[in-house]
Amino acid sequence: MSTQAPERLGPYRLVRKIGEGGMGVVHLGLDGEGREVAVKVLHPHVAADLKARDRLTREVETMRRVRSPYVAEVIDAELVGGQPYVVTRFAPGRTLEETVLTDGPLEARELIRLAQGLCQALVSIHAADVIHRDFKPSNVMLVDGEPLVIDFGIAHLVNATRLTQTGMFVGTPGYLAPEIIRDSDITQAADVHSLASTVFFAATGGPPFGTGTFEAVCFNIMEGRAQLDKAPAWLRGWLSRALQVDAEARPSAPALLRMARALDPAVTTFNETSFEGPTGTKRLADRTRTMDSFSDLLPPVDYAEPAPPPPPPPAPRREERPPPYVPAPVAARPLPRADQRVAGYPAPTQARPAPPSPAPRQYTPPSAAPRQYTPPAERRRYLFGSQFVGLLTLVTLVALTVMMPVMVGAIAVALAIVLRTGEYLFGDLVKRRQTRGSSAADPLLVLVGTPWALIKSALVSVVHVPFALLFGVCVWGVLHWAGQMSVNEAAAYAAGAFAAGLFVLPGGGAPRQAVTRTLTSVLRSPGAALVAVVLMGAAAMFAVMFALGQDPVWSPWRAPESVIDDLADEATQTTMGLITGLIGSLMDGLGLGFVNPWS
């Protein structure tokens, strides 16, 4: 199987690679209408593994259950072909990991916005009975300051069959919950733990359980040794509740969101109320405690069920402690953090005032229909180039119709009908695939839908073609009577107006969309669009010059002026008689006199 990335996958054109992992490669792609999407393609050697296909199928299944503006939605998927892929919304931004390592930890206002957005995403994920299992900074995109959760590759449904082998776990160790490392039952509380670890990274620039060997990090996670003293004082209480070793001691996603909305950088006292754990049990937390010592980092005591305290664990030897965390180099050192003092200590003399707490945002559930995203400026210029090529093609068609009104006019009618039929057929197919994904039954649906698309196109054309013909007659009247043009010259320009009306008048939207879809598929790069603009511009210019410089060719019909003279000799001089006579003579010249309603 070839390892080279294809230029197209289904209806999507791959523009460039934007990421790569162990499972596959993520490409920036364009759909049939030129909108940007992210296409995740399995590696060829991975696609041959049935378990990997099961994992991809599960990823699509879980992502389609979640509806949230903070979660990247699935647009399309192909799971049964030779190259399985998943198409999701493209997020034009950087990952949280890249942002923090490049620009330093987030400021307080940005940190609260991140925590609240991630909590709202987690509420939607858990409401769909999904466990993400892989919350980490590299799986969170920042789009205009708002977080977007991506990559459900190892997510699974609650109570679903696990695909990993016994004794094995998948994920990034520094952000895993203790129960995942122990290979015990995994619940939605694991996501709460990983989310808090991700927020800790955004606040400090490092993972909460330090760095070092794999065993040292896992030991710190299972023992609950989070380095909370490195986090801002106002955030430590929120982190300590979510990073509990006991899964049942952690708050649920809705409770964590309520606590996130109460975060205030100006307050170093963590006011808590009773919250509901993931299993539905009520847990009583401390109220109005001043975090003036490291006792704030201990797990909360359940006063409702007193139990004898366990014997204190022996203090670890000094040599057993993992090496201290060394921050990664950054391009520029971040500005000094806002006031982080603990109650009772004086404020630093040069400390900046803490920013005011942002007002909590009211969460609004997203609509079922996917949102439309505006492509960046470079891609907008490319799309404008494709649309300009379509305009130049229409100008060329109109000029050719002025040169050969009868022959090219008939071709324009046939072209409009074919484009309309194709748009009705394949446009509906694209909309179905964006709603429910691709299916092996798509070719059969195209075959079954072809007769209906033909009938629908014919019915619309029966109304639209006479409408365009009436527009051409009006142009002929204006040019002949007001512009003092000869009958033949005015009729040639009227034929050009008729050809243009097939695409620009009301009812010509389907042919235009079909042309746009076709040009987007053919023009594979901005450079190709530029070349096409130059070539079509030259063709349009020569066509217009020839149309203006030579007499029209009316074959296989006669010149309209001679036909009008014949009709005048037959005493059919009324306006309606003249129009019907011209139409009848034209259809006879084309060999279509048997369908003439006035014969």
Instruction: Write the pLDDT tens digit of every residue in 105-138.
Output: 999 999 999 999 999 999 999 988 888 878 899 8
Q: Given this model, what pLDDT does residue 189 score?
A: 92
DSSP string, 570-597: TT--SHHHHHHHHHHHHHHHTT-GGG-T
d(CA 386, CA 529): 6
Q: Given this model, what pLDDT does residue 250 score?
A: 94
**Most confident range, picked from 268-277, 376-385, 451-460:** 451-460
Q: Which residues contact 370 (CB under 8 A, 6 or more apart)?
A: 73, 75, 89, 434
**Chain centre distance of CA 98:** 20
| pLDDT tens digits for range 195-219 | 999 999 999 999 999 888 888 899 9
Q: What's the CATH code, domain 94-306?
A: 1.10.510.10
| pLDDT tens digits for range 75-90 | 888 877 777 888 888 8
Q: Which residue has the higher pLDDT, 84 or 314?
A: 84
Alpha helices in 304-441 (DSSP H): 377-403, 405-422, 428-436
* Rounded-to-10 torsion of CA 482, 486, 490, 492: -170
> pLDDT confidence of 332, banded at 50, 70, 90?
very low
Nearest Cα residue to 539 out of 371, 337, 341, 399: 399
Least confident of 214-228, 367-381, 461-475, 529-543: 367-381
Mean of pLDDT values over 369-398: 65
Q: Given this model, what pLDDT does residue 582 score?
A: 61
Least confident of 215-224, 228-237, 364-373: 364-373
Q: Where does residue 26 rank: exposed (0-12), middle (13-18), buried (19+ CB within 10 A)?
A: buried
CA angle 434, 440, 444 (to 5 degrees): 95
Task: Report the 10 Å Cβ neighbour count for 247.
Answer: 21
Residue 259 has phi, psi (to 5 degrees) of -65, -35
- The yes-or-no verdict on residue 154 having pLDDT over 80 is no
Q: Given this model, what pLDDT does residue 288 score?
A: 34
Q: Given this model, what pLDDT does residue 122 score?
A: 93
Report which DSSP code applies to 229.
Answer: G
Residue 183 has phi, psi (to 5 degrees) of 60, 35
- The yes-or-no verdict on residue 564 having pLDDT over 70 is yes
Please, which residues bridge with residue 148 across strands?
Answer: 141
Report which DSSP code applies to 105.
Answer: S
> pLDDT confidence of 99, banded at 50, 70, 90?
very high
Looking at the structure, give the CATH architecture of the domain made up of residues 8-89. Answer: 2-Layer Sandwich (3.30)
d(CA 260, CA 244): 16
- The yes-or-no verdict on residue 303 having pLDDT over 70 is no
Inter-helix orientation angle 233-242/253-261, to 10°:
170
d(CA 498, CA 496): 5
Inter-helix orientation angle 377-403/526-549, to 10°:
20
Q: Which residue has the higher pLDDT, 297 or 550?
A: 550
| CA 299 to each of CA 51, 197, 289, 370: distance values in angstroms, whole numbers, following the listed order | 39, 16, 14, 42
- Report the share of the chain in percent with pLDDT over 90: 27
Q: Which residue has the higher pLDDT, 34 or 385?
A: 34
Region label for 257, one of left (φ > 0), alpha (ψ between -120 and 50) or beta (otherwise): alpha
Query: Is 431 one of the annotated binding-site residues?
Result: no
Q: Is 339 part of the annotated catalytic residue set?
A: no
Q: Which residue has the higher pLDDT, 52 or 597?
A: 52
d(CA 85, CA 25): 9
CA angle 21, 26, 29 (to 5 degrees): 175
Report which DSSP code applies to 530.
Answer: H
Q: Which residues contact 368 (CB under 8 A, 6 or more apart)?
A: 67
| pLDDT tens digits for range 9-40 | 888 889 888 877 767 788 899 988 888 888 88
Q: Which residue has the higher pLDDT, 292 or 540?
A: 540
> pLDDT confidence of 7, banded at 50, 70, 90?
confident
Q: Where does residue 543 rank: exposed (0-12), middle (13-18), buried (19+ CB within 10 A)?
A: buried
Least confident of 51-60, 189-198, 372-381, 566-575: 372-381
d(CA 511, CA 351): 64
| CA 378 to each of CA 143, 216, 374: distance values in angstroms, whole numbers, following the listed order | 18, 47, 11
Inter-helix orientation angle 487-504/560-569, to 10°:
110
Residue 130 has phi, psi (to 5 degrees) of -120, 140
Q: Given this model, what pLDDT does residue 157 score?
A: 44
Mean of pLDDT values over 225-235: 93
Nearest Cα residue to 135 out of 145, 114, 150, 146: 150
> pLDDT confidence of 525, banded at 50, 70, 90?
low
Q: Which residues contact 548 (CB under 8 A, 6 or more apart)?
A: none
> pLDDT confidence of 539, banded at 50, 70, 90?
very high
> Roughly how many angstroms between the first and final C-alpha of the chain, as a whole number?
64
Mean of pLDDT values over 248-273: 83
CA atoms within 13 A on the CB side of 295: 7
Mean of pLDDT values over 346-374: 45
- The yes-or-no verdict on residue 342 having pLDDT over 90 is no
Least confident of 228-237, 337-346, 469-478: 337-346
Contact, 371 vs 69, CB < 8 A? yes
Q: Length of the chain in residues, anyone?
A: 599
> pLDDT confidence of 183, banded at 50, 70, 90?
confident
**Is the bond leading into 207 cis (omega within 30 degrees of zero)?**
no
pTM score over 0.75: no
Is the torsion defined by CA of 46, 47, 51, 56 positive or negative? positive
Task: Report the 10 Å Cβ neighbour count for 447.
Answer: 10
Residue 38 has phi, psi (to 5 degrees) of -105, 125
Q: Where does residue 342 rank: exposed (0-12), middle (13-18), buried (19+ CB within 10 A)?
A: middle
- The yes-or-no verdict on residue 284 having pLDDT over 50 is no
For 375, the 3-state DSSP assignment is coil
> pLDDT confidence of 501, banded at 50, 70, 90?
very high
Q: Given this model, what pLDDT does residue 294 score?
A: 38
Q: Which residue has the higher pLDDT, 15 or 521?
A: 15
- The yes-or-no verdict on residue 336 having pLDDT over 50 is no
Q: Which residue has the higher pLDDT, 187 or 368?
A: 187
CA atoms within 13 A on the CB side of 79: 20
Would you list the domain boundaries of the chain?
8-89, 94-306, 377-553, 556-599
For 145, the 3-state DSSP assignment is coil
Rg (CA), the chain: 34
Q: Given this model, what pLDDT does residue 198 score?
A: 95
- The yes-or-no verdict on residue 273 having pLDDT over 60 is no
Q: Which residues contact 269 (CB under 8 A, 6 or more apart)?
A: 288, 289, 290, 291, 343
Least confident of 132-146, 208-222, 266-280, 401-415: 266-280
Mean of pLDDT values over 303-327: 51
Contact, 27 vs 14, CB < 8 A? yes
Continuous segment of H or E residues that includes residue 452: helix 442-477
Please, which residues bridge with residue 149 across strands?
Answer: 71, 140
Least confident of 74-83, 382-391, 445-454, 575-584: 575-584
* Catalytic residue (one of 31, 76, 134, 191): 134
Structure tokens at 437: 């994904």
Q: Given this model, what pLDDT does residue 312 score?
A: 60
